[in-house]
Amino acid sequence: MLETWIGFGQGPLFRLCLALMLLGLTRIFLLTIIGMIEALRRNEDKIIPWKDLIGKTISWLFPLKRLFNKRPVYSLISLIFHIGLIIVPLFLAAHLLLWKNVTGFAVSAIPKLFADNLTLTVIICSILLFLMRLFYQPARAISRKQDYLWPILLIIPFLTGYICSNGSISPNAYLLLMLIHVYSANLIMVMIPFTKIAHCVLMPFSQLVTAIGWKFPKGAGGRVIETLGLKNRPTWVEKPRLVYEDLTPEKEEVSV
Amino acid sequence: MNLLINKEERERAFKTPKKENVIEKQQLSVRYHVEDFALENRPQRFLEAFAAILKHTNYRLVLDHYVRISAKCSRCTSNCQIYLATGDEQDIPCFRSELLLKVYRRHFTISGMLRGRVFGDPGLQNEQIQEMAESFYNCTACKRCSIECPMGIDHAIITHLGRYILSELGITPRALVVSTREQLIGKSGNTSAIPVPALLDTLEFLTEDMEEEKGINIPFPIDQDGAEYLFLPAVSDFLMEAETLMGNAAVFKATGDSWTIGTGYFDGINYGLFYSDHILEEVLHKIEAETKRLNIKTILIGECGHASRSAKYFYPTYCGGKEALPVVNILEYSWKAWKEGRLKIKPNVIKEKVTYHDPCNFARSGWIVDQPRELLKAFCQDYVEMTPSGRDNICCGGGGGTVSIDEIRPYRTTIGGRAKAEQIRATGAKYCVAPCANCKKQLKELMEDNNVDCEIVGLHDLLYQAIIFENVEDEKEIHHSLT
């Protein structure tokens, strides 16, 4: 029975979750691209400091140089955690068959010993990141539910995967853990586009989005107060916003 | 360096100068003075202003992006000098931005609206607006947090947008509003309310002063049609920074380039950068009109960080894109003239120890970092760097327009500028060069309130002492023989 469910999780459900993840990520990727194009079209000033933006982006994509300026321990843990998160699911020998089934091609697997050590490292890093969030007051102050949930959720497939591949456990326990492994991994894939993990696709655009955001459309300020029905009452006139009642008839409908 | 303030300092910094009855009347407990504004339906009006701004601008792109990627890693805490001084969670840059992002998610995204319905979230409340009004003006918009954000979030743009929305409700520090009103519709047309005759008197006086000192005529050309450069310093320099202006004029005397001050408009200040895109644009159009009136080729901004950034980065935005006139800062100009050999400088003229403060608006983007240093080293015998400096510099503590709010001086000099005061003290410098009108004002107050023995000066104040007027030696002789 468990085997059937595992088979379903590794087969059709895996393909569905993968498709949802890819579609979701493609959606936000395209929305960002379209948003940037629209913004640039709206702006008279289309000057983009490409060199500076690309430099900044690369320095964060490969943050070996700058990450350790501040909070070096946290930074090191976070960096190793991210490396493990990317390498193990993609290049573990046991996963390659799954990828081959879906994509039709396979790359070389990483050595088992390396994969095992990396898996253990990710688990330890997850625990440390979770504890840091819990006990470092500034991090706790800004954390949402998903910020606590993610490190825990990520431990599940890594831990179950590690036990299944290394532990001497009964066949039933193996099947149960494998079931948890497969379904938690599928759940993670589906959640990625809808949570902060979307940064795996969007993060390289941040500098560009910000640079475009700082380019304001010409005349927008005037159009804003026109929409608000305050065309003749810009913020710099005397008592511009003291009485509103007599202004409402001019007001245009804006969606709130 | 432990920057955390103690209880006594906290009380001093957060003491409100406002009377209870004003706070009650305005239903707004912020430390800065605000002109009276309509109180009814404040949340609704906030959302209407927010919606109108989203409709006509590109902020939605930025907000959507930040909402999706914000990982709440708290790295920004390590670089925010306000948070490092207070240790208050509400001063964490991510916490501050979240105040507005929360409103955006709740009212302007489908998932937020649905969640609001399902969980019965009543939406934006008065208290949240009050919290934003306080928080967004506690921030100096120095962008140091953005350096450390692995996700590339720029919290300063959120602060800027938050202030813009609040301004459309009438919630803006009175000091900024009054200056802008004078600049845009006042008789004088500038933020310091200097009438043209007073400006001309001042410049004449400065020329006489320089003549006495240097023995040559160093003029301030007025309304020169077709001049290469239209000079726009922070207008307050005409009142408070005579030596900087003298240095500026002396550089032009030495290079021989054509420049002018326009009586139609002579103010580089643009508070729109701090709180309103609308004002930002209107002020830049005033500059544009003056350049057209005088057939100017290049806009030259004086020693002022925000004036330079608002012109350099937003003049193309509002006045012609790629076709817009070029904008240069006086530091760039003087450095270039020196590099080209058109400006000669005597080495080692300044014997005392000198350090340099990077205004955030120049340095954070990497625009002006090395040029002033190279210039200073050319005539200062004992130049020392602060740590950190350049793109990573620490803000003076009066950025984002907060320096103009006199009633929050204890906050600025206790919390905002604490890190800077200690940084300057550690150099042991006699002079701290701060080529920005806002930084200068803040740093002078900071040195006073923190008992640091250091004189705050502009770069051209010192440069003035080192310039060699090579091409005017003949003129000097003629001038002497005439007098």
B30-41: per-residue pLDDT in tens? Answer: 999 999 888 888
| Shared domain check, B281 and B164 | no
* The pLDDT of residue A32 is above 90: yes
> What domain range is B38 assigned to?
7-172
Q: Which range has highest mean pLDDT (A49-53, A163-167, A234-238, B203-207)?
A: B203-207
Residues of B in Cβ contact (< 8 Å) with A243: 38
Contact call for A236 and B38, based on CB within 8 A: no
Q: Give the residue carrying structure tokens 């955030």.
A: B360
Flag whether B23 is in a domain. Answer: yes
Q: Is A241 on the interface with B (CB under 8 A)?
A: yes
Flag whether B177 is in a domain. Answer: no
| Shared domain check, B358 and B321 | no
Residues of A in Cβ contact (< 8 Å) with B153: 206, 210
Rounded Cα distance between B467 and B251, Å, is: 7
Residues of A in Cβ contact (< 8 Å) with B77: 138
Reported confidence tier of residue B470, pLDDT bands at 50, 70, 90: confident
Give the chain A residue whose CA is nearest to the CA of B96: A142
Flag whether B239 is in a domain. Answer: yes
| Shared domain check, B355 and B257 | no
| Shared domain check, B449 and B323 | no
Q: Look at residue A108 in the predicted model and tell me its pLDDT.
A: 86
Residue B435, CA distances (Å) to A183, B4, B27, B234, B393 in order: 60, 28, 39, 11, 14
Residue ranges covered by each domain of chain A: 2-213, 220-250
Please count the structural domains in chain B.
3
Q: Indicate which of A214, A224, A238 best probes the interface with B, i.e. most B CBs within 10 Å of its own CB.
A: A224
Residue A30, CA distances (Å) to A37, A217, B104, B411 in order: 10, 22, 21, 45
Going B290 to B294 to B295 to B301, the CA torsion angle's sign is negative
Query: Which A positions 91-130 lie with beta carbon below 8 A of chain B?
Result: none
**pLDDT > 90 in chain B, percent:** 93
Give the chain A residue whose CA is nearest to the CA of B78: A70
The per-residue pLDDT for range A47-61, each reduced to its tens digit, is 899 999 999 999 999
| Shared domain check, B408 and B295 | no
| Shared domain check, B222 and B265 | yes
The per-residue pLDDT for range B99-150, each reduced to its tens digit, is 999 999 999 999 999 999 999 999 999 999 999 999 999 999 999 999 999 9
Smallest CA–CA distance, residue B73 to chain A, in Å, is: 7
Partner-chain residue, chosen from A139, A196, A221, that has the shortest CB–CB distance to B277: A221
Contact call for B53 and A224, based on CB within 8 A: yes
The per-residue pLDDT for range B284-323, each reduced to its tens digit, is 999 999 999 999 999 999 999 999 999 999 999 999 998 9
Contacts with A245 (C-beta within 8 Å, 6 or more apart), sequence order: none
Give the chain A residue whose CA is nearest to the CA of B169: A241
Give the end of a domain, one of B172, B203, B222: B172
| Shared domain check, B138 and B218 | no
* The pLDDT of residue A67 is above 80: no
Cβ–Cβ < 8 Å for B317, A216: yes
Flag whether B39 is in a domain. Answer: yes
Reported confidence tier of residue B245, pLDDT bands at 50, 70, 90: very high
For B297, which DSSP code? S
Partner-chain residue, chosen from B40, B152, B313, that has the shortest CB–CB distance to A207: B152
Rounded Cα distance between B386 and B357, Å, is: 8
Rg from Cα positions in chain A:
25
Q: Is A198 on the interface with B (CB under 8 A)?
A: yes
Partner-chain residue, chosen from A147, A205, A235, that has the shortest CB–CB distance to B278: A235
Give the chain B residue whose CA is nearest to the CA of A193: B68
CATH number of the domain within which B362 lies: 3.40.50
Flag whether B165 is in a domain. Answer: yes
Rounded Cα distance between B149 and B113, Å, is: 28
Query: Which B positions 39-68 lie with beta carbon below 8 A of chain A?
Result: 40-41, 44-45, 47-53, 55-62, 64-65, 68
Give the chain B residue whose CA is nearest to the CA of A137: B89
**Peptide bond connecting B388 to the previous residue in cis, omega within 30 degrees of 0:** yes
Amino acid at B168: E
Tokens at A199, concatenated: 């940064």
Rounded Cα distance between B198 and B221, Å, is: 15
* The pLDDT of residue A248 is above 90: no
Concatenating the DSSP letter of every residue in B327-350 gives EEEHHHHHHHHHHTTSSEE-TT-E
Reported confidence tier of residue B475, pLDDT bands at 50, 70, 90: low
The per-residue pLDDT for range A144-167, each reduced to its tens digit, is 999 999 999 999 999 999 999 988
Q: What is the pTM of this model?
A: 0.94
Rounded Cα distance between A90 and A87, Å, is: 5
Smallest CA–CA distance, residue A57 to chain B, in Å, is: 8
| Shared domain check, B375 and B319 | no
Rounded Cα distance between B242 and B203, Å, is: 9
Q: Look at residue A105 in the predicted model and tell me its pLDDT.
A: 80
| Shared domain check, B249 and B268 | yes
Q: Give the residue carrying structure tokens 């990396």.
A: A118
**b vs e for B40-56, b when ≥16 Cβ sit within 10 Å of the residue's Cβ?**
eebbebbbbbbbbbbbb
Residues of B in Cβ contact (< 8 Å) with A206: 65, 69, 151-153
Q: Is B2 on the interface with A (CB under 8 A)?
A: no
* The pLDDT of residue A256 is above 60: no
* The pLDDT of residue A169 is above 90: no
Give the end of a domain, one of B292, B308, B339: B339
Q: Is B157 on the interface with A (CB under 8 A)?
A: yes
| Shared domain check, B248 and B373 | no
Contacts with A173 (C-beta within 8 Å, 6 or more apart), sequence order: none
Q: Give the residue carrying structure tokens 């001063």.
A: B91
Paired strand residues for A43: none
Domain A2-213 has CATH 3.30.1180: no
Give the end of a domain, one of B128, B145, B172: B172
Q: Is B25 on the interface with A (CB under 8 A)?
A: no
Partner-chain residue, chosen from A47, A143, A241, that has the shortest CB–CB distance to B322: A47
Mean pLDDT of B86-103: 97
Reported confidence tier of residue A247, pLDDT bands at 50, 70, 90: very low
